[in-house]
Amino acid sequence: MRTKFRLSLLALLFTVSLANAQQKHALIFAIGEYPEEGGWSKISSAQDVAYIKNTLLKQGFKETGIKTVSDSVATKAGIENALKNLIATVNPKDVVVIHFSSHGEQVADNNGDEADGYDETIVSYDAKLSADKEAVARGSVSKTEYEKLQANYFRDDEFGKYIQELRTKLGKEGDVMVVMDNCHSGTGTRGSAKVRGGKGALKPDGYNPASKKQTGDEVFQENAGARGTETDLATYVVISAALASELNYETTGDDAVSMGSLTYAFSKVFENLPAGTTYRTLFAKIQAIMNEKVPGQHPVLEGNGLDRSLFGGNFVNQKPYFTVEKITTPLDIVVKAGTFAGLNVGAKVNVYPAGTADPSKATPLAKGVVTKASNYQSTIKLDKSTKVAQPSLLFVFVSEPVFNVKPIVVAIATSRGNNNYSATETDNISAALKKLKLVTMVGTPDLLIEKGNGDDTIKVASNGFPFANITNAADTAELRKVINRYAQYQLLQKLVVKDSTVTAQVKLVKVTNGKPDEKFMAAKFQDIPYEFNEGDTIMLWVKNPSKKDIYVNILDIQPNGQINPMLPNTSIEKPIVASELKIPAGQTRTFPEYIILLAPPLGTEIFKVFVTTKEINIEGLATPESEQVKTRGDLNLSQFESLMINSNNTATRGAQVSVKPTDGSVFNILFRIKEKQ
């Protein structure tokens, strides 16, 4: 009897264990046999299914966990039903892959949340093009026909709501990957390859996309407080086959049959992928294959799980790195970072295979020295060939940055009672500091080193803000990292670049009940500091008054030396990527997906705005989370105000920088947070 009881108990525990085990689910949408009456051409989506399915089976997905929705079943209603069934099926901690192979189309934005005035959509099986030749010729359809046609296109906003529900159901340990093998926009084709999309946007007569972002009435459909806590949701990654402004071309598989280019690259990468590979590394390898198969097409990676190991694995502490723009010769490369990142002439770098998380634990393919640099780009001479042909397969780590700043004055705190350094400790720290080129110990201190009960602390001398914690202040290597980061902070904090031909106007618009304050929206642009109350929410309004198209990036420069990304920002719920930050000449852009809550400490904040004519991405200049000292909330108002009173002159005017016109402008936006009345 006792034996039977034990067996029953073991069986019950085993059943509970299986119920709690992480399961893998895949949902594949393949729409290629479009009906002729719909006007969409047939594409090779059916070929994609076998490639994706076989790839997932080799990664531990079970046959029963992979569902396929194809052609006539994949109507808009069919797509939504499949997503609802998926959400109902999954459990917390599960892993989900959703793959779309279909046409893609742009449709007039219906809620004002798109920068270009168009929603990206999946062309479902029952989606149709207009049969009115005159309407096609003029590029728009009657409002009545538009309402009828647009109803069967599956918009990105609709898809996003299902993904949000899915992430909520999976919980914080879950993992979602979405693969989009379709194109989002385009007006023509290059060559004879099939294009997945490529039709003119679907819009009603009289539609003006440029006006959608300027009215202010429907910009804030989504309430910031209603989006939930991101830390409670499953991580997610989205891999798209092309930029929103590009076409997605088919390629040929190993059997010489047409198929999706992203699907092919995805499947090939998994043939030889080491354990522990992150989504970031996976994407780098996908880029390399697509560059060979469909040159000129640029896949896109988004999400907050980029540094997580594939399919629900652990997060990897990715050290900051830069990517290679082009390989000009076996010994010369061009990197997508320049003087702002410490890549000035003479700076030293190490080059590793893409996917390297920690360079201290790997062997470099080559070492190099910067021979030419602009603000956002640098040319590097290598000591030997990396033997790598594709730029996306290389990561560049800075080993010895060069910042053109004045020597940083560092002092050792001596008035801390019984918690001072001993004479021997002080001598050791001084000896370590003297080895650093950027450091002097003579003059008014910029940084103070204080002895702690555990780690030592380096503080900003003028205000007492903790800048960094280090294990041992006498460790030259640790000190060098901190000093280099502070040098970059000083450079960016004081930097102002003026180029009258490439500039932008930026307003901080107060948001009330999820909608912009009309007074702020209508107010004439003025280059003056703003004032808000604690607890206010704001959003960014950017106008391009110039005659050139521009790209805008923004950093938040905190007085404790921490640098936070604003635009682009891939860590927020709805990521904003660098390629989406283009603002055409004369147009205005708002960011309804990015509501900013103003919280203590009270005082003045600074946003650093970078404006260029070419796409840039300075999110990598932000302070890595592992190096952040999150103690701002402990500081009082007088400390913060004292800092800003002493630094406002340099913060608003900065150091004038000699810059080529193509480098653009850099300027500051100041705003003051007051106590709520």
**Each residue's pLDDT tens digit, 376-402:** 899 999 999 999 999 999 999 999 999
> Measuring CA to CA, which residue among 523, 674, 506, 571 is closest to residue 302?
571
Strand order through the sheet with 104-108: 104-108, 118-123, 153-155
Q: Could you tell me the CATH number of the domain that includes residue 242?
A: 3.40.50.1460
Instruction: Write out the E strands in 92-185.
Output: 95-101, 104-108, 118-123, 153-155, 175-181
pLDDT at residue number 672: 81
Indicate whether 237 and 336 sit together in one domain. Answer: no
Would you give the DSSP letter of residue 238?
A: E
Q: How far is CA 40 from the centre of its chain?
A: 33
**pTM metric for this prediction:** 0.73
Indicate whether 68 and 100 sit together in one domain. Answer: yes
Does residue 261 register a pLDDT over 80? yes
Task: Give me 49's structure tokens.
Answer: 């299914």
Indicate whether 480 and 515 sit together in one domain. Answer: no
pLDDT at residue number 577: 84
Across residues 408-421, what is the average pLDDT? 82
pLDDT at residue number 525: 66
Q: What is the pLDDT of residues 448-467, one digit of tens each?
A: 999 887 888 999 888 888 88
Euclidean distance between CA atoms 319 and 357, whole angstroms: 6
Structural domain including 514 reads 497-674
Check: CB of residue 308 under 8 Å from CB of residue 175.
yes
**Residue 7: inside a domain, yes or no?**
no
Confidence of residue 514 (pLDDT cuts 50, 70, 90): confident
Indicate whether 435 and 372 sit together in one domain. Answer: no
Name the range with the highest mean pLDDT among 268-272, 332-336, 570-574, 670-674.
332-336
Euclidean distance between CA atoms 259 and 247, whole angstroms: 15
Indicate whether 365 and 456 sit together in one domain. Answer: no
Euclidean distance between CA atoms 118 and 146, whole angstroms: 14
Range with the poorest average pLDDT among 27-31, 167-171, 282-286, 656-660: 656-660
**Residue 15: inside a domain, yes or no?**
no
Q: Which residues pair with 583 in a beta bridge?
A: 550
pLDDT at residue number 44: 86
Does residue 591 register a pLDDT over 60? yes
pLDDT at residue number 104: 87
Which residues, at least 6 apart from 254, have a Cβ–Cβ distance to it below 8 Å?
A: none
CA distances from 313 to 279, 305, 317, 342 (A): 10, 10, 13, 33
The 3-state DSSP class for residue 68 equals: strand
Check: CB of residue 34 under 8 Å from CB of residue 125.
yes
Check: CB of residue 183 under 8 Å from CB of residue 554.
no
**Residue 657: inside a domain, yes or no?**
yes
pLDDT at residue number 641: 24
Does residue 227 register a pLDDT over 60? no
Indicate whether 131 and 248 sit together in one domain. Answer: yes
Task: Give me 631's structure tokens.
Answer: 């103690």
Does residue 135 register a pLDDT over 80? no
Name the range with the highest mean pLDDT among 50-64, 115-129, 271-285.
50-64
The 3-state DSSP class for residue 104 equals: strand
Q: 437, 465, 494 — which closes off a domain? A: 494
Say what the alpha-carbon torsion angle 422, 425, 427, 433 is, to the nearest 10 degrees: -140
pLDDT at residue number 177: 95
pLDDT at residue number 524: 67
**Residue 312: inside a domain, yes or no?**
no
pLDDT at residue number 677: 73
Range with the poorest average pLDDT among 129-133, 362-366, 420-424, 521-525: 521-525
Name the range with the highest mean pLDDT among 95-104, 211-220, 534-543, 562-571.
95-104
pLDDT at residue number 187: 23
**Residue 4: inside a domain, yes or no?**
no
Q: What are the DSSP calls for 436-455, one per residue? A: -TTEESSSS-SEEEE--SSS
Check: CB of residue 201 under 8 Å from CB of residue 189.
no
**Residue 14: inside a domain, yes or no?**
no
Euclidean distance between CA atoms 227 and 597, whole angstroms: 13
Instruction: Give percent of the chain above pLDDT 90.
Output: 39
Euclidean distance between CA atoms 176 and 96, whole angstroms: 5
Does residue 286 register a pLDDT over 60? yes
Euclidean distance between CA atoms 293 and 288, whole angstroms: 9
Q: 272, 303, 334 — which closes off a domain? A: 303
**Residue 146: inside a domain, yes or no?**
yes
Torsion over CA: 184, 185, 189, 190 (sign): negative
> Measuring CA to CA, which residue among 401, 376, 430, 435 is closest to residue 657?
376
Does residue 645 register a pLDDT over 70? no
Indicate whether 151 and 202 sit together in one domain. Answer: yes
Does residue 117 register a pLDDT over 80? no
Euclidean distance between CA atoms 297 and 241, whole angstroms: 8
pLDDT at residue number 16: 43
The 3-state DSSP class for residue 366 equals: strand
Indicate whether 70 and 195 sit together in one domain. Answer: yes
Does residue 89 register a pLDDT over 90? yes
* Bigger pLDDT: 21 vs 646: 21
Indicate whether 346 and 488 sit together in one domain. Answer: no
Q: How many domains does the chain have?
A: 4
* Bigger pLDDT: 593 vs 37: 37
Euclidean distance between CA atoms 537 and 222, whole angstroms: 13
What is the number of residues in the chain?
A: 677
Q: Could you tell me the CATH number of the domain that includes residue 358?
A: 2.40.30.270
Does residue 222 register a pLDDT over 50? no
Indicate whether 421 and 519 sit together in one domain. Answer: no
Confidence of residue 649 (pLDDT cuts 50, 70, 90): very low
Indicate whether 605 and 463 sit together in one domain. Answer: no
Say what the alpha-carbon torsion angle 485, 487, 490, 491 is, to the nearest 10 degrees: -110
Q: 374, 400, 426 — which closes off a domain? A: 400
Check: CB of residue 568 under 8 Å from CB of residue 581.
yes
Does residue 424 register a pLDDT over 50? yes
Which residues, at least 6 apart from 88, have a Cβ–Cβ distance to it below 8 Å?
A: none
Indicate whether 294 and 434 sit together in one domain. Answer: no
Q: Could you tell me the CATH number of the domain that includes residue 591?
A: 2.60.40.10
Strands 447-450 and 408-412: parallel
At 475, give phi and psi (nearest 5°): -85, 110
> Measuring CA to CA, which residue among 315, 269, 270, 276 is closest to residue 293?
269
**Residue 10: inside a domain, yes or no?**
no
Range with the poorest average pLDDT among 251-265, 486-500, 648-662: 648-662
